[in-house]
Amino acid sequence: MPREDRGGRERSGGFGGGKMRKPKKRVCNFCIDKVEHIDYKDVNKIRRYVSERGKIIPRRISGNCAKHQRQITVAIKRARNIAFLPFTTD
């Protein structure tokens, strides 16, 4: 059963009516440095991927590839268990 046309506005692509700009593709920092393994003892590097509230920053925001995002997640969880990183902020 086809949908009825409700006579709504046509989508013009945004508020300003200007050109749509593609966001710049983020490149994984670990791939650039050719890092094979992310160490859980390197707290300064891992801390960049934890938010102020203690949450792991998602891949779409951090710009990491899937492989390194998984390694970061494991490293953060190990560092939390050994008390290198806090679970939450005070």
> What is the predicted pLDDT for the residue at 19?
78
Backbone φ/ψ region at 20: left (φ over 0), alpha (ψ -120 to 50), beta: beta
For the chain, give every domain's residue range.
38-82
Amino acid 55: pLDDT: 94
Q: What is the pLDDT of residue 57?
A: 95
Burial 24-37 (b: 16+ CB within 10 A, else e): eeeebbbeeeeeee
Look at residue 10 in the predicted model and tell me its pLDDT.
60
- What is the residue whose two structure tokens read 């050109």? 19
Encode pLDDT of 56-81 as tens digits. 999 999 999 999 999 999 999 999 99
Topology at the third CATH level for domain 38-82: 30s Ribosomal Protein S18 (4.10.640)
Q: Is the pTM value of this prediction over 0.85?
A: no
pLDDT at 23: 75
Predicted local distance difference test score (pLDDT) of residue 8: 62
**Which residues in the chain show pLDDT less than 70?**
5-18, 90
